[in-house]
Amino acid sequence: MPDFAAGTAELERASLRSPNRRADHMGMAAPHYYTAEMVRTLPDDGNRYETVHGELLVTPAPRGDHQYVVTNLVIRVGNYLATYPVGQVLLSPADISWASDVLVQPDVFVVAMDEARTLDWKRMKTLLLAIEVLSPSTSRYDRFTKRRAYQEFGVPWYWMVNIEGRATEVWTPEATAPTIERERLVWHPDGAAERLLIPLADILPPVQQPR
């Protein structure tokens, strides 16, 4: 007759061993938690390194169309601030940190003038405007991870420029969904007498005609 007692004992020993093996495996897969200081020590290898609440964000060097839009935005926003100097326009690489586990590098951003005059990243906390130009490697970070951080830390205007969609998503701190702008961007910071109006066609690359 089969020895059912012996078989039951073998099953019990097997069931006792397997949870330990799973726990060991899960422990080895634990993710790193990155602080702003850790990110600052990463190599200058052409990638952009950021962290939002400990999550490391790594993006490669941007494409030419991305830099085309960034350059046009810096010129437009810079010219406006020359007339209404409520802040200073800057661009990445940068080091904006609101917490020990947050460090972001917006593509283009405006810092309140009193903080910008210090030329000290550690004292630049008040962003009046943050702009990210979407690319395939950054769209998830820009739409979700960084967008939530900009809202959490009170950036009053956040623009996400979608080159392929030829539109911009506009977020404010309280918004639960973006406003989609397809014709122009409007920005009216406190202290400026007039609004900044930027037709999207003026900053986006020309539409490539099929050959």
User: What is the pLDDT of the chain when averaged over all its residues?
Assistant: 88
Q: What percent of the chain has pLDDT over 70?
A: 84
The predicted structure's pLDDT at residue 105: 97
Q: Is 98 within a domain? A: yes
Q: Is residue 126 part of a domain?
A: yes
Answer yes or no: is 92 within a domain: yes
Question: According to the model, what pLDDT value does residue 15 have?
Answer: 41
Assigned token pair, 102: 């947050």
Question: Is 153 a domain residue?
Answer: yes
Distance CA 104, CA 56 (A): 10
Indicate whether 121 belongs to any domain: yes
Digit-coded pLDDT (tens) for 4-28: 444 444 434 444 343 343 333 333 4
Q: Is residue 124 part of a domain?
A: yes
Which pLDDT value is given to residue 13? 41
Domain count, the chain: 1
pTM metric for this prediction = 0.83
CATH code, domain with 108: 3.90.1570.10
Confirm whether 170 is domain-assigned. Answer: yes
Is residue 184, in this structure, part of any structural domain at all?
A: yes
Q: What residues make up the domain containing 49? A: 36-203
* 172 pLDDT more than 60: yes
Rounded to whole angstroms, how far apart are CA atoms 171 and 142? Answer: 12
| Higher pLDDT, residue 196 or 16 | 196
pLDDT at site 207: 84
DSSP states of the chain: ---HHHHHHHHHHHHHHHHHHHHHHHHHTPPP---HHHHHTS--SS-EEEEETTEEEEE-PPPHHHHHHHHHHHHHHHHHHHHS-SEEEEESS--EEEETTEEE--SEEEEEHHHHTTT-GGG---EEEEEEE--TTTHHIIIIIHHHHHHHTT-S-EEEEETTTTEEEEE-TT-SSPEEESSEEEE--TT-SS-EEEEHHHHSPPPPPP-
Q: How far apart are CA 150 and CA 43, in angstroms?
A: 25
